[in-house]
Structure 1
Amino acid sequence: MSQNKPSKNMMPTYPEPFWRDSVPFDQYDPLDKDIEADVVIVGGGITGITTGYLLQQEGMNVVILEASQILNGTTAHTTAKITAQHNIIYNEFMNHFGKEKARDYYEANMQAKAFIQDLIEKHDIDCDFKEQDAVIYATSNQSRMDLETEWDAYEKLGIDSEFLEDIPLPIDHVKGALVMKNQAQFHPLKYLKHLVDDFIKRGGKIYEKTTAVDVQEEARPKVITKPGYKAAAQYVISASHFPFYDFKGAYYSRMYASRSYVIGVKTREKFPGGMYLSADEPTRSLRTATYKGEEIVIVAGENHKTGHDTDTIKHYEALQDFANQKLGIKEFLYRWSAQDLTTLDKVPYIGRITANEPSILIATGFRKWGMTTSTVAAQLVTDIILRKDNPFEELYSPSRFKADPGLRRFVSQNLDVAGHFIKGKVGMKSKSTEDLENGEGAVVKIDGERAGAYKDENGKLYVVNTTCTHMGCELEWNSGEHTWDCPCHGSRFSIEGDIIEGPAERPLSQIDVDDGA
């Protein structure tokens, strides 16, 4: 099906995730004194909220610290598929970890799906939950063969599945598709609002605009916040996307950050149902959602490593063109992007930060599949704290390190980092601040040194030092989000230099210049 190409002015000017825009949340005060609790959770996304909910139900005194606003980070920028079909992965896991561990991965995520579904049904949570089949489709012969191999792994693992020759979406040249049965989709923030309300009702505490910067290791570890206030607890959980406390784990060298893009549109053609993901690049992901009583389509994809692409607006345009060609765009409602972390072996790190630190736990590296993985993490961390056996503790242990594929990917990732470090220091292209148009950002030279400048819609100039405060890599401008992104380890900063994403712990310094510099 072909449609006339829509003009780019259809696209919303500023990124705004549909999920956050459609659910109001209370605001919470920052931490302004030293406190004590049984558990301190750093990070108010779906992992932190679900973990707090579970622990508070067990009678523990739990505090959640959030650097910005709860549920406004990765959780608000998801596609919100509740599925164990995490791309083509199970044959690889069988080869690297064995059949038992591959089956554990599936079981952990299906148990997470069952937990979410049971909670929704028990409390009658109105969150647009809908069971759907998850489908990976191939448009090349090679991907068809990959899907056949993956289906063989499904059958060996006992995964309820089906292989199709075609799909009901108007996608050209489909060579086959692999279906994982009985998966689901929902509105994550409508679901989480219930958990937040219950957490607060049971005595849990949330502090927003409270940035955790370090842990003081004592018999009762203390989380140190940016203003200097301390939150002491028996257990500290880092659920902050990238671990805020990374002194001993060196997680910045064991994961890489990538960005993906999402649009929400009303379509002329009716969506056939199901959740879809392409096996071929560029990635295309599709599902429906409910907007003001009407069905809209969420289209995602266009993945790339953070900081490796400056003209990011083109990714939204590519998704827009795809959606218009396949389903016809009647109205362009939302656009947003997400950042995700992938571990060396593609299995998240969940558990004790090191074997010798039983009081500090982490959950990170969800590889774009945070809806089930966050619940896996919440259940596993809760069991560790309550000293209950959990069959998945070994699989997700952050202390693991497999030589194959871990060592190979460790070397590859860090060679890539070294290349970008050197590239950022030499051969710099720059322009003058006076050449910037309103709404434009770019690398500039100030007194012969590299800097980053942005001129807002009113002509106000913002200039920052573009050397990342984490490990000294040079930041790149992200035109789609109006941020400064690090190509080495994925840190992101605002136009004023404030931290948006770690592992950086210090903001960028601002540079005072005249507009004509």
Structure 2
Amino acid sequence: MDLHSGLPYWIIKNPLFDYYNPLKMDLETDIVIIGSGITGALMTHELCRKGLKCCVVDKRSIATGSSAASTALLQYEIDVPLCQMAEQIGEKNAVTAYRSCLQSISDIETVLKETGIDADFEQLPNIFYASDEKGVKLIEREYEIRKRYGLPVELLSKEELHKQYQLETYAGALLNRQSAQLDAYKAATKLFRYHIENDHLQIFTHTEVTSCEEAPEGCRLKTKDGRTIRCKYVIVAAGFEAGQFLPEKVMKLTSTYALISHPIDNKDLWPERCLIWETAEPYIYVRTSGNRIIIGGEDEDFNDPKARDELLREKTEKLERKFHKLLPSVPFKTEMTWCGTFSTTKDGLPFIGAWPGTERIFFDLGYGGNGITFSMIGAQIICNLIQGKDDERKEVFGFERIHTTL
């Protein structure tokens, strides 16, 4: 399935990583990571820094799946607000999920600093505004529970939003100053290049894994070309395409749309270039990349690439109208558009760990709008489990909750 179409900005902005190395013979190794997107890259880094031998397998070129279309907002907020998540999975687990996401933003920055990688990481404030009266009530509840648990949050009125940030909103918003953004494609490709050069990492591109079996002594993978890979552990970091390796469906597929503006004068951007999103479902979100503006959203609950692509023009026009209404003083003219498919879960959380009853096949599935922060968390949890170390977060993000979230 085509994971995206149109013209994703990131593979225009960056040089393509023209790495071609299909697996041409049987292989034995310690750990195999399936997927070369940002999730696989963070997983690879965590394993390599602990001295664990691994290789990566992907049926595509490096990072040209969902990561090439990601708009890469890094937020501790999750698609399901904390006050609602607390009702679904309990306050303790919900707060653990939110705090884990907050910590992961700093952890991602640390990864980039310790490898010397420039992935356009920027710390920026984040505004979550009320779209309607229902959103006003949600904002009030959300502010209360975040304050109670010491999460970074400020409450702004409609007037303050307009005066400080030029936003024309229905009502007020929550502000936090511990969010960030990056270039996911750039981060993934540079992390892989770093470990190829420093840890002799092997990446086998254009190599499709068709089966993965666990045995007491290890795992055996088969490729479409008839090659066999034997290893101690497998980590599936293939997004919604991980479904073929799971005994049950664990997510819902959703189509989303994004567009990026022509460059504009920096003085015409809104103050502090805050990340912006709203309480409506589906929500729209806004960020910048240099002196360009990205707006995305208008999600649809279907995954048919043809139907998704046919709506691109209509969705582009809707996103443009919403942007002009939200920030009427900021000039915006679309230069590129794209759409893609991603996965969501009912409770807004990823699935991280091994399927119940198995021990050697792990999943790092950062579903939802927080895919990159979830991927960082997943890399840490799985690395700990492989080393025989307990990680209390595995209970929050594991598969044990599956029959209560679908």
Matches of 2:333 and 2:246, distance apart in 1: 49
Contact 1:64-1:205 within 8 A present in 2 as well: yes
Does residue 342 of structure 2 align to residue 340 of structure 1?
yes
Distance 2:388 2:371 in 1: 24
1:385-444 alpha-carbon deviations (Å, 9 max, x no partner): 1112222111111132354xx3xxx4xxxxxxxxxxxxxxxxxxxxxxxxxxxxxxxxxx
State the partner residue of 2:253. 257
- Equivalent in 184, 188, 191 of residue 188 of structure 1: 184
What CA distance in whole angstroms lies between the structure 2 residues aligned with 1:87 and 1:399? 21
Q: Aligned Cα RMSD in Å?
A: 2.1
Q: Deviations over 1:286-322 (max 9, x none)?
A: 01112xxxx1111001011124755412112212333
- Structure 2 residue aligned with 1:108: 100
Q: Deviation of residue 345 (structure 1)?
A: 2.7
Matched, 1:319 2:319: yes
Flag the structure with more relative contact order, 1 or 2, with Cα contacts below 8 A and sequence separation at least 6.
Answer: 2
Q: Secondary structure at the match of 2:232?
A: strand
Once the two structures are overlaid, the 10-residue window that deviates more, 17-26 or 129-138, is 17-26
Deviation for aligned residue 1:223: 1.4
CA distance in 2, matches of 1:142, 1:276: 18
For 2:145 and 2:251, the matched residues in 1 are separated by 26
Which one has a bigger Cα radius of gyration?
A: 1
Structure 1: gaps spanning 5 or more residues: 1-13, 411-517
Question: How far apart, CA to CA, are the structure 2 residues paired with 1:192 and 1:99?
Answer: 34
C-alpha deviations, 1:128-168, integer Å up to 9, x for none? 22211221111311110011111112112211101111224
TM-score by length of 2: 0.88
CA distance 1:356–1:180, shift in 2 (3 Å):
same
Give the aligned residue type for 1:339. Answer: T
What one-letter code is carried by the residue in structure 2 that aligns with 1:349? Answer: F
Q: CA deviation at 1:282?
A: 5.4
Cα distance in 1 for residues equivalent to 2:242 and 2:132? 41
**Which letter maps to 1:379?**
Q
Go from structure 1 to structure 2 and tell me whether the alpha carbon gap of 1:232 and 1:327 turns closer, same or farther (over 3 Å shift): farther
Is 1:391 matched up with 2:392? Answer: yes
Equivalent position SS for 2:389: coil
CA change 1:247–1:39 in 2 (3 A) is closer
* Distance in 2 between residues matched to 1:281 and 1:377, nearest whole Å: 26
Aligned to 2:37: 45
Distance 1:18 1:116 in 2: 22
- Is contact 1:132-1:274 (8 Å) kept? yes
Q: 1:243: Cα distance to partner?
A: 4.9
Aligned AA (1:16) = L
Q: 1:336 to 1:222 in 2, by over 3 A?
A: same
> In the alignment, is the contact (CA less than 8 A) between 2:129 and 2:169 conserved in 1?
no
Alignment partner, residue 304 of structure 1? 300
Q: Give the secondary structure class of the aligned counterpart of 1:223.
A: strand
Contact preservation (8 Å) 2:240, 2:342: no
Structure 2 CA distance, aligned partners of 1:249 and 1:156?
A: 39
1:228 pairs with one of 226, 229, 245: 226
Please tell me whether the aligned partners of residues 277 and 286 of structure 2 are also in contact (alpha carbons under 8 angstroms): yes
Distance 1:299 1:204, change over 3 A: same
| CA drift at 1:60 | 2.3
Deviation at 1:248, TM superposition (A): 5.3
1:213 aligns with 2:205: no
2:270 and 2:330 in contact (8 A); partners too: no
Q: Secondary structure at the match of 2:118?
A: coil
Q: Supply the AA of the counterpart residue of 1:256.
A: K
Is 1:17 equivalent to 2:8 in the alignment? yes
SS in 2 for 1:280: coil
CA distance in 2, matches of 1:261, 1:75: 14
Contact kept in structure 2, 1:87 and 1:279, CA below 8 Å: no
Conserved in 2, the CA contact under 8 Å of 1:214 and 1:225? yes
Change (3 A) 1:132 1:257: same
TM-score by length of 1: 0.70
Structure 2: 5+ residue stretches without partners: none
Q: How many pairs align?
A: 385
Determine the C-alpha separation between the residues in 1 that align with 2:400 and 2:214: 19
Q: In the TM superposition, what is the alpha-carbon distance from 1:111 to its structure 2 partner? A: 2.0
Distance (whole Å) between structure 2 residues aligned to residue 120 and residue 17 of structure 1: 23
Matches within 5 A, 1:91-130: 91-130=83-122
Q: 1:40-189 counterparts in 2 under 5 A? A: 40-166=32-158, 167-168=161-162, 169-189=165-185
Q: Distance in 2 between matches of 1:61 and 1:327?
A: 53
Equivalent-residue separation in structure 2 for 1:401 and 1:96 (angstroms) = 12
Higher helix share: 2
Deviations 1:227-278 (A, max 9, x none): 1111111001111112546465312xx3111011111103574232210001
> What is the CA–CA distance in structure 1 between the aligned matches of 2:329 and 2:295, rounded to whole Å?
11
Question: Is 2:240–2:253's contact at 8 Å kept on the other side of the alignment?
Answer: no
Q: Is the 1:343–1:365 Cα contact (8 Å) retained in structure 2?
A: no
Where do residues 432-511 of structure 1 align in structure 2 (5 Å cutoff)? Answer: none
Pair 1:282–1:356, CA change in 2 (3 A): closer
Q: Counterpart of 1:107 in 2: which secondary structure?
A: helix
Percent identical residues? 24
For the residue of structure 1 that corresponds to 2:240, the secondary structure is coil
Partners of 2:221 and 2:257 in 1: how far apart?
Answer: 33
**Any conservation in 1 of the 2:240–2:251 contact (CA below 8 Å)?**
no
Deviation track 1:113-136 (CA, whole Å, cap 9, x = no partner) reads 111112333444322222112211
Query: Are the aligned partners of 2:366 and 2:374 in contact in 1 as well (CA < 8 Å)?
Result: no
- Contact 1:87 1:277 (8 Å CA) reproduced: no
Structure 1 residue 42 displacement after superposition = 0.7
Question: Does the 8 Å CA contact 1:271/1:288 hold for their aligned counterparts?
Answer: no
Partners in 2 of 1:48 and 1:191 — Cα distance?
11
The answer as to whether partners of 2:38 and 2:187 remain within 8 angstroms in 1 is no
